[in-house]
Amino acid sequence: MLGQFIFIVVLIAGFGFFGFNISKIRKNIMLGKSLDRSDQKWKRIKTTLLIALGQKKMFQRLMPALFHLFIYVAFLFTSTELIEIIIDGVTGTHRFFWPILGSVYVLLINMIEILSVLAFVATLVFLARRNLLTLPRFQMSEMNGWPKIDGNIILYLEIILLLCVFTMNGADEALFLQGKSHVAGTGSFGFIVSSFTAPFFFNQFNVDTLIILERIGWWGHILVVFSFLNYLPYSKHFHILMAFPNTYYSNLNNNGSFNNLKAVKEEVTKMFDPNFDPYAPPPEGEELVPDRFGAKDVEDLTWKNLMDAYTCTECGRCTSACPANITGKKLSPRKIMMDTRDRLDEVGKNKRIHGSDYNDNKSLLGDYISEEEVWACTSCNACVQECPVNIDPLSVIIDLRRYLVMEEAKMPSELTGMLTNIENNGAPWQFSQADRYKWAEE
């Protein structure tokens, strides 16, 4: 009864704290401007199944995709075992589903054990990739400090979790072989990995020690799961949960199709309307002038931009494909999303502590992202194409540019000359329309 009581307290505390953190993140995301992504529901479901569940874009790079798949599928199957652990913890039973499912249960646990071995190998590979190999996208400046530590913490937790699973199953297998398991009955589970490891690692222990080892594995498993669950909202691995809603709300328009600013579009439409009366009062409820053209801070971005920031895996595929970054420019699309998330966390925390009207006199543009980064972008959409979970760094960059141009009248001198030529000559080149075809005279 004491064990059940402690487990229920841990269960309530674990899920309660997780729910509290999720509510904070949801409020932060809702600080963004409204955006309608309720169209084409079936296409959105298909996109989610292919991209988030099916890992389609991960396989643009085969070897990392395979190792990631081992961990991903192991995570999905281990979640089913977690249901049994929760039932056992609350009711005081042991392997609740075994007498109900019989051989199906053994098959399921065998699959979990095989996947766990593959996940263990994949975890070691990823640790080596991050710490021993010098992959350029893991050595960039934005990955120094906490991002590198964060990536390693999850992998260490994964190893501890897998060791707990094999300790729990191996000790239980050894107990079953001696007829001393918590579950009444005879014979062995026949778990494909544990039946092999139990004679080598656990048979030399007496029954009391095996029971302790099985309980250490069981409690270690559930405590690591709850630790992992409550660490996710503070980690880049929050994408495990966010990938699904983020891909569902993906931008389904063709890459390169920019959205129009509503206020500007309406003004241009009125200019072409011969019946428009500039002196007529505006319709009731119509916004005359938007609060801001483009985006200076996170609250000027859409809620989807902010969801993108929380979904970022920091894998760096966007940056490794960015032509500006490849040629030595300061821009890193990954850093754009990381900075957006960091600034959003800061704004959300300030509003919770000081109230919704608090202003810390800082902004995303300037304090986190420099003008040099914004103007280095070629708008090629390579970052959008590469992202495994359909994050769109370009839309953030474009809105930051819009603010610089339309609010601050700031732009590189090369663009100033081009825009002047378009205004005067109807083309970006410095000659009149009448001279446009002279290049072909000879």
The tens digit of pLDDT for each residue in 82-117 reads 888 888 889 888 888 877 877 788 888 888 888 889
Residues 6+ apart with CB under 8 A from 324: 331, 376, 377, 378
pLDDT at 282 over 70: no
Does residue 161 share a domain with residue 309?
A: no
> What integer pLDDT is reported at residue 290 of this predicted model?
63
Cα(101)–Cα(94) distance, integer angstroms: 14
Domain membership of residue 270 (yes or no) is: yes
Domain membership of residue 51 (yes or no) is: no
Distances in whole angstroms, Cα of residue 283 to Cα of each of 233, 261, 271, 290, 291? 44, 19, 17, 15, 18
With cut-offs at 50, 70 and 90, classify the pLDDT of residue 286.
Answer: low
Does residue 439 share a domain with residue 385?
A: no
pLDDT in tens, 293-313: 889 999 999 999 999 999 999
Q: Which of 414, 415, 419, 377 lies closest to 398, judged by CA? A: 377
Cα(427)–Cα(372) distance, integer angstroms: 26
Domain membership of residue 416 (yes or no) is: yes
Query: What whole-number percentage of the chain has pLDDT above 70?
Result: 95
> What integer pLDDT is reported at residue 387 of this predicted model?
93
pLDDT in tens, 169-219: 888 888 877 776 655 333 445 677 877 777 778 878 888 888 888 889 889
Does residue 156 share a domain with residue 20?
A: yes
Does residue 399 share a domain with residue 282?
A: yes
> What integer pLDDT is reported at residue 190 of this predicted model?
62
- Distance from CA of residue 50 to its chain's centroid? 16
> What integer pLDDT is reported at residue 371 of this predicted model?
94
Does residue 358 share a domain with residue 306?
A: yes
Domain membership of residue 253 (yes or no) is: no
Cα(369)–Cα(301) distance, integer angstroms: 14
CATH number at residue 304: 1.10.1060
Q: How many domains does the chain have?
A: 3
pLDDT in tens, 395-414: 999 999 999 998 888 888 88
pLDDT in tens, 225-275: 899 899 999 998 899 899 999 999 999 988 878 888 777 887 788 778 787
Does residue 223 share a domain with residue 290?
A: no
Domain extent, residue 431, equals: 412-442
> What integer pLDDT is reported at residue 440 of this predicted model?
83
Does residue 232 share a domain with residue 266?
A: no
Cα(46)–Cα(158) distance, integer angstroms: 30
Does residue 374 share a domain with residue 439?
A: no
| Residues 392, 396, 397, 401, Cα dihedral to 10° | 150
Domain membership of residue 313 (yes or no) is: yes
pLDDT at 30 over 50: yes
Does residue 22 share a domain with residue 74?
A: yes
Does residue 72 share a domain with residue 213?
A: yes
pLDDT at 423 over 70: yes
> What integer pLDDT is reported at residue 416 of this predicted model?
86
338-364: average pLDDT = 92
pTM, 2 dp: 0.85
Q: How many residues does the chain have?
A: 442
Domain membership of residue 45 (yes or no) is: no
Per mean pLDDT, which range of 26-40, 120-134, 174-188 is the poorest? 174-188
pLDDT in tens, 67-84: 999 988 888 887 777 888
Half-sphere exposure of 426 (CA within 13 A, CB side): 5
Domain membership of residue 35 (yes or no) is: no
Does residue 437 share a domain with residue 352?
A: no
Domain membership of residue 373 (yes or no) is: yes
How far is the first Cα of the chain from the last one, in angstroms, to the nearest whole number?
Answer: 97
Does residue 232 share a domain with residue 181?
A: yes
The DSSP symbol for 52 reads I
Structural element, H or E, at residue 301: none
